[in-house]
């Protein structure tokens, strides 16, 4: 299965089983512009495959997702939102690792981290192959991005 298809499958599974939200693919992209009022969760891969798996949520989508995830009202981008976004990146990273490494010891995952801001660029200074998938929710769109060193 292509990594792109697995990323789509994993994202849909995470959202339907744990966030209690259905998501659909809007489009596949190779680039995206500066991120605005967004929170990014990311996890690094090291070993036979090196790169980063990231999820980019506009604030409004991140709050809606966290609210659904935790079954409580969320009205600001607080610690819960950062934690939830980091955990979504962590679960996606684990799934991607499973595709790239059957045994599990030839690729190491970093701990998840998050960044957020009113406007920032998310890009690698290495030569990478990018897969970016935009998903739609009832509350807006978000992106899942995989950058693997070539």
Partner 1 sequence: MGENVLLVDDSSTMRKIVGRSLRQAGLDFDNIFEAADGVEALEVLESESVDIVLSDINMPNMDGISFLREKSTRDGIKDIPVFMISTETGDDIIGEAKSLGAIGAMKKPFTPDKVNEVLGPLM
Based on the shown chain and the rule CB under 8 A, indicate whether residue 105 belongs to the binding site for partner 1.
yes
Contact 55, 88 (CB under 8 A): yes
Helix-strand-coil split of the chain, %, nearest 5: 35, 40, 25
Closest approach, Cβ 30 to partner 1, in A, equals 26
The site for partner 1, by CB under 8 A, has a size of 28
- In the chain, the DSSP E strands lie at 24-29, 35-47, 51-58, 107-109, 113-120, 128-137, 140-149
Return d(Cα 65, Cα 23) in angstroms, integer. 11
Complex with partner 1: residue 13 or 129, whichever CB lies closer: 13
Based on the shown chain and the rule CB under 8 A, indicate whether residue 91 belongs to the binding site for partner 1.
yes
Q: Which of 96, 78, 102, 101 is nearest to 42 (CA)?
A: 96
User: Binding segment for partner 1 among 26-34, 45-53, 84-92, 130-138 (CB under 8 A)?
Assistant: 84-92
Based on the shown chain and the rule CB under 8 A, indicate whether residue 47 belongs to the binding site for partner 1.
no
Binding-site ranges for partner 1 (CB under 8 A)? 13-14, 17-18, 66, 69-71, 79-80, 83-84, 86-87, 90-91, 93-95, 97-98, 101-105, 109, 111
């Amino acid at each position: 299965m292509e990594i792109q298809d697995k990323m789509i499958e994993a994202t849909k599974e995470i959202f339907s089983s744990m966030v209690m939200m259905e998501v659909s693919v809007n489009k596949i992209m190779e680039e995206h512009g500066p991120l605005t009022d967004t929170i990014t969760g990311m996890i690094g891969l090291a070993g036979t495959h090196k790169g980063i798996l990231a999820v980019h949520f506009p604030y409004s989508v991140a709050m809606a997702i966290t609210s659904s995830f935790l079954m409580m009202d969320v009205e600001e981008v607080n610690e819960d939102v950062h934690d939830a976004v980091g955990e979504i990146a962590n679960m996606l990273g684990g799934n991607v690792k499973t595709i790239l490494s059957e045994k599990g010891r030839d690729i190491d995952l970093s701990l998840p981290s998050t960044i957020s801001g009113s406007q920032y660029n998310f890009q690698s200074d290495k030569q990478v192959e990018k897969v970016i998938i935009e998903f739609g929710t009832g509350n807006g769109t978000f992106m899942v991005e995989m950058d693997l060193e070539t």
